[in-house]
Structure 1
């Protein structure tokens, strides 16, 4: 049995912490591969460094680099894992590009979707977990945890509010693919709810 499950959410949603803890729980029952975007494979990680740690760049260049990293990741890790009947949990995927570059940057959701259609060649997630958190709570968590802030973290509040708006539009257009989790709660509550939702999905397969 294989499944491709992606995790999405705005900055400070706890996404990376949640996916790691959920993966540990699921490993007791399923063959799990945990990965991330941008990155996941050598070339993808090199592009990640340019995207997140480099200087400001043209918005369309940014969108194209995310798509290029995504393609390398799919070919090098995701597709081979799915062929081996593994459950792939991926920290961010195409919806991040649609929300961040398509909507928040103002390029256009459909325009960024067309760039990525070429990159993913029809491989959409089976389900997507969206960790729903308010911008104010997300920003508060980032500052409290004193984590290193990348180039996207450092955008202003208006940008991050547009990211959330973008995600809401995407979810509205594809409600059957998304499982929306209230991520304003404690980490343990979010992890348990997410784990239960994914377990129920996988048990049906």
Structure 2
């Protein structure tokens, strides 16, 4: 089973991924944790370029896609073939929301390029942790920001709206209210996961 966590920057994704991975481990299930961009030797080099170098939006998208293609072949497909649960900190929908939506490259073209980069390997479940943009901006003020995190409220607003449109369109999407307390968010994620597992076993 392949599960991705999505959301605008500072939505609380990393905390929830940690809690979910612990829960999976306690259930005695084997999992592989990956992050985007990155997760492979090549991907981590690309990550460093993406975070630090200025570039045009098309270059940015193509670098994300290159990192993703490598991750799918090198890590995700083998893990799924071994019967493991793959937990991803961002995946293809990030590019749709950020580059397709917020950067204005177009959702349709990014989706088509994602099909190519992922070899049509997509998550069974996407947990979209949704928070208002104002909260994200407040949280980012307290951190050392990377190149994308320095974008303003308008950028994140479009990314968020694009995610919400994806949630309406895609059956694998689950919207999680990121404003609730950490344990409550975790419980909701676990509930949805358990429901999905139960439906697969029937």
Give the TM-score category using the shorter length. over 0.9
Q: Distance in 2 between matches of 1:15 and 1:158?
A: 21
SS at match of 2:180: coil
CA contact under 8 A between 1:26 and 1:199: conserved in structure 2? Answer: no
Q: How does 1:11-26 map to 2 (within 5 A)?
A: 11-26=9-24
Give 2:6's match in structure 1, choosing from 5, 8, 27.
8
Q: Distance in 2 between matches of 1:58 and 1:18?
A: 32
Structure 1: gaps spanning 5 or more residues:
none
Q: Deviations over 1:32-67 (max 9, x none)?
A: 11111101111111101111122x201001000000
Q: How does 1:23-172 map to 2 (within 5 A)?
A: 23-29=21-27, 30-54=29-53, 56-143=54-141, 146-172=142-168
Number of residues paired by the alignment? 199
Q: Normalising by the residue count of structure 2, what TM-score does the alignment of the two structures yield?
A: 0.94
Give the CA RMSD over aligned residues.
1.1
CA contact under 8 A between 2:166 and 2:173: conserved in structure 1? Answer: no
Partner of 2:183 in structure 1?
Answer: 188
Q: Distance in 2 between matches of 1:138 and 1:195?
A: 24
Q: Normalising by the residue count of structure 1, what TM-score does the alignment of the two structures yield?
A: 0.93
Please state how far the C-alpha of 1:101 moved relative to its aligned partner. Answer: 0.2
SS at match of 2:4: strand
Q: Distance in 2 between matches of 1:164 and 1:140?
A: 16
Please state how far the C-alpha of 1:203 moved relative to its aligned partner. Answer: 3.5
Q: Distance in 2 between matches of 1:202 and 1:140?
A: 36
Partner of 1:173 in structure 2?
Answer: 169
Please state how far the C-alpha of 1:148 moved relative to its aligned partner. Answer: 2.5
SS at match of 1:12: coil
* 1:204 and 2:186 matched: no
CA contact under 8 A between 1:26 and 1:195: conserved in structure 2? Answer: no
Q: Distance in 2 between matches of 1:192 and 1:138?
A: 22
Question: Could you list the runs of 4 or more consecutive aligned residues of structure 1 that deviate by over 3 angstroms after TM superposition?
Answer: none
Q: Distance in 2 between matches of 1:84 and 1:69?
A: 22
